[in-house]
């Protein structure tokens, strides 16, 4: 199988692909992500800006994967939807499907896609996939269902070229293998201390597995979760402006610039880039080194690494989807 990875980041999708699959190309424009891609995937061509790719000059591939920019769809953003300057790049994903006609695709995005513009944006997403000639299956998948100790809910849409249901084409219908049942068997929902209609205002307790590591922007912290504090009698209290986890507790969801902390018994410290990589299911120091424009191997700053990690894809989720696809490809001799 050959695949093309768009909006590649630092290769989260690639890490979830079978080792015997061939990547025929990447499409990424972020300076630091490209440095890491050049370091980690020396033999794979980076075609750069997807809006400028002439797909006639790209080798054919069986599967197209990628998570289009989500800032305009996220509940943490301005929610300008598919017409936003970044999320409109979704239509480049569609252009690729129409021009290259790969047999399968996997599209990933934030859970907020479902509620953007009252749900009409996601309806448009599904319609566009269908009009491109694909039968589709979609579900919100949580990284905790795949053995990752952070709540990171993302929408995954899987498509197969043609009119037959992708449930029949792609997935083996086994009741004990559904993602929802895996959630109930392997995870415990975290206790909500303070509930609110907006997820960013909710405060969670220490029971269960923590939500996704969240984002820090120039305007202030955007947080989905709150964790134990030093003074048990006052759950709203913080230390040094941070809520924190104790060593051994499940982690938060990873964000662009992590402001979560770990309490070691004496003080609160920030989660390191290495710990953040592990919480994403990535190999140690995956984002530590890159190759600059001069061809030199360089070490990336912690700030650059936090941003790349927070925008990444958990490979174990991708691997789980691919394994189910492989089961039925073998049984149906596709």
The reply to whether 170 and 42 lie within a common domain is yes
How many Å apart are CA 149 and CA 146, to the nearest integer?
Answer: 9
CA neighbor of 126 nearest in space, from 115, 137, 142: 137
* Among 15, 70, 155, 280, the one annotated catalytic: 70
Give one word for 248, left, alpha or beta, with left for phi > 0 and alpha for psi -120 to 50.
Answer: left
In this structure, what CATH number is given to the domain that contains residue 37? 3.40.50.150
The reply to whether 148 and 273 lie within a common domain is no
DSSP H stretches of helix in 253-313: 273-279, 302-310
The reply to whether 143 and 177 lie within a common domain is yes
What total number of domains does the chain contain?
Answer: 2
Q: What is the pTM of this model?
A: 0.74
The reply to whether 10 and 117 lie within a common domain is yes
The reply to whether 77 and 212 lie within a common domain is no
Backbone angles phi, psi at 304, to 5 degrees: -65, -40
What digits encode the pLDDT tens for the residues 221-267?
433 333 343 333 334 434 445 555 565 555 666 665 555 566 656 66
Facing residues of 194 across strands?
A: 203
Look up 70 and say whether it is catalytic.
Answer: yes
CA neighbor of 308 nearest in space, from 286, 283, 291: 286
The reply to whether 181 and 198 lie within a common domain is no
The reply to whether 135 and 221 lie within a common domain is no
Band (pLDDT 50/70/90 cuts) for residue 212 is low
The reply to whether 152 and 272 lie within a common domain is no
Q: Token pair for residue 102?
A: 């790969």
pLDDT given for residue 309 in this prediction: 93
Q: Which domain, by its residues, includes 55?
A: 2-186+314-331
3-class state of residue 162 by DSSP: coil
The reply to whether 176 and 196 lie within a common domain is no
134 pLDDT higher than 70: yes
The reply to whether 32 and 168 lie within a common domain is yes
pLDDT given for residue 12 in this prediction: 97
The reply to whether 202 and 159 lie within a common domain is no
176 pLDDT higher than 90: no
The reply to whether 199 and 278 lie within a common domain is yes
Average pLDDT, the chain: 77
């Amino acid at each position: 199988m050959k695949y093309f990875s768009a909006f590649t980041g630092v290769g989260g999708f690639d890490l979830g692909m079978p080792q015997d699959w061939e990547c025929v190309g990447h499409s990424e424009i972020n300076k630091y992500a490209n440095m890491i891609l050049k370091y980690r995937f020396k033999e794979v061509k980076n075609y750069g800006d997807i809006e400028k790719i002439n797909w006639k000059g790209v080798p054919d591939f069986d599967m197209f994967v990628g998570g289009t920019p989500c800032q305009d769809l996220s509940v943490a953003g301005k929610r300008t939807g598919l017409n936003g300057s970044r999320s409109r790049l979704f239509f480049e994903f569609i252009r690729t499907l129409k021009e290259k006609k790969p047999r399968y695709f996997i599209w990933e995005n934030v859970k907020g896609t479902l509620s953007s513009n009252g749900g009409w944006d996601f309806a448009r997403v599904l319609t566009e996939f269908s009009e491109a000639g694909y039968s589709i299956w979609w579900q919100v998948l949580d990284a905790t269902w795949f053995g990752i100790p952070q709540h990171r809910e993302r929408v995954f849409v899987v498509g197969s070229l043609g009119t037959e249901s992708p449930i029949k084409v792609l997935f083996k219908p086994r009741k004990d293998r559904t993602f929802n049942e895996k959630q109930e068997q392997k995870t415990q929902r975290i206790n909500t201390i303070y509930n609110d209609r907006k997820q960013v205002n909710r405060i969670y307790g220490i029971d269960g597995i923590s939500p996704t590591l969240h984002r820090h922007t120039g305007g202030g912290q955007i947080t989905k979760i709150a964790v134990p504090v030093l003074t048990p009698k006052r759950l709203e209290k913080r230390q040094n402006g941070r809520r924190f986890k104790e060593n051994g507790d499940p982690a938060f969801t990873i964000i662009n610039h992590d402001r979560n902390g770990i309490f070691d018994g004496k003080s609160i410290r920030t989660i390191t880039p290495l710990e953040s990589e592990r919480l994403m299911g990535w190999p140690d120091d995956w984002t530590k080194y890159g190759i600059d424009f001069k061809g030199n191997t360089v070490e990336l700053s912690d700030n650059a690494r936090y941003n790349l990690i927070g925008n990444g894809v958990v490979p174990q989720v991708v691997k789980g989807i691919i394994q189910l696809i492989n089961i039925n490809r073998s049984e149906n001799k596709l």
